[in-house]
Amino acid sequence: MADASLPTVRTVHDLRAVVAGWKRAGQTVAMVPTMGALHEGHLSLVTLARSRADRVVASIFVNPTQFGPNEDLAAYPRDMERDLRLLDSLGVNLVWTPTPEIMYPGGYQTWVQVEALAKPLEGAQRPGHFRGVATVVAKLFNGVQPAKAYFGQKDAQQVAVIRQMTRDLNFPIEIVVCPTVREPDGLAMSSRNAYLGPEQRQAATVLYRALSAAREAYESGERDAEKLRALMRATIAAEPLAKMQYVSCADYDTLEELDQVTGKALLSMAVFVGKTRLIDNFVLG
């Protein structure tokens, strides 16, 4: 297969040379950060960015600092050729593919740590994860200096952490959040779905089923957050191939667990199907 014609750069120096030319010409720049192994979820972000900016930069970087020592960094799916073809077909103008050595050269020692928002949920289960995420996104933002950056609601806490960091560090960047793209049976698209065998793939709909059960109860008037969490737990417990890690019904803004749902809330969960850890969420209100 021939290489995609789409230009790629590795170093910050080369990236800045291209982006500076666009900015001198008065063109608006948007960016879409990804870890590659692209699916329709990523492509929805790219499509929206493409429709709203003169130039779109996508980054592909499997960021080692957001993976824990027992997580799937080495096994994380990678398919650069396919990714570049897809991005090219959607009209992306430049792909930034830095290496770990470029992002974290020997002697690297600066980290971005968002505090309260990064502690519960994913932060509690994956110590250091959001320190890695906030640091790499700050570096991606500094490299491209886009007017807008596009993220998925699929990673709800990530969005909250990045919004907070953007505000706190005065990045002049608008964070745009796109809805979760799902398979026809409700499973949220994820690069990690590729790990699932056929039976596991069936079982993986349990996240959507559990979230739907809680949302139906909410829509029928249930406001007791513990009852909503219990419904999600029961749905997951009934799926033999699934093992719950956490379920949550939290305040949308603070991510603190609720007793009563009074305003906007986030239902979220992490579930193991075999060795594959899946997350999903719904927003209420």
Q: Sign of the C-alpha dihedral, residues 142, 191, 278, 49?
A: positive
Residue whose CB is less far from ligand AMP, 180 or 225: 180
* Structure-token pair, residue 271: 């579930």
Token output for 59: 């980054």
Residue 155 in the binding site for ligand AMP (CB under 6 A): yes
Cβ proximity to ligand AMP, 83 vs 239, nearer residue: 83
- Decide whether 189 or 225 has the Cβ nearer to ligand AMP: 189
Q: Which is nearer to ligand AMP, 120 or 152 (CB)?
A: 152
Q: Which of 13, 39, 42, 129 is catalytic?
A: 42
Minimum CB distance to ligand AMP, residue 122 (Å): 12
38: helix, strand or coil: coil
Site string for ligand AMP, 5-34 (x = CB under 6 A): -----------------------------x
Strand order across the 242-251 sheet: 242-251, 265-273, 276-284
User: What are phi and psi for residue 203, nearest 5 degrees?
Assistant: -65, -30
What 3-state DSSP class applies to 49?
Answer: helix
Stretch 106-125: interaction string toward ligand AMP, x if CB under 6 A:
--------------------
Beta carbon of residue 159, minimum distance to ligand AMP (angstroms, whole number): 7
Establish whether 42 is a catalytic residue.
yes
State the Cα–Cα distance between residues 6 and 234, nearest whole angstrom: 48
Amino acid (one-letter) located at 99: T
Interacting positions 30-89 with ligand AMP (CB under 6 A):
34-35, 41-42, 44-45
Q: Which residue has the tokens 């579930």?
A: 271
Part of the chain binding ligand AMP (CB under 6 A), chosen from 101-109, 113-121, 149-157, 208-216: 149-157
φ/ψ of residue 242, rounded to 5: -110, 145
Give the 3-state secondary structure of residue 246: strand
DSSP string, 172-223: --EEEEEPPPB-TTSPBP-GGGGG--HHHHHHTTHHHHHHHHHHHHHHTT--
Shortest distance (Å) from residue 75 CB to ligand AMP = 14
Beta-ladder partners of 281 = 268
Instruction: With CB under 6 A as the rule, give the number of residues binding ligand AMP.
Output: 17
Q: What would you measure as the largest C-alpha separation in the chain, in angstroms?
A: 58
Closer CB to ligand AMP, 178 or 284, in the complex: 178
Residue number, 227 or 272, with CB nearest to ligand AMP: 272
Binder among 151, 171, 208, 282 for ligand AMP (CB under 6 A): 151
Among 19, 181, 242, 284, the residue binding ligand AMP under the rule CB under 6 A is 181
Binding site residues, ligand AMP, CB under 6 A:
34-35, 41-42, 44-45, 151-152, 154-155, 178, 180-181, 188-191
Cite the active site residues. 42
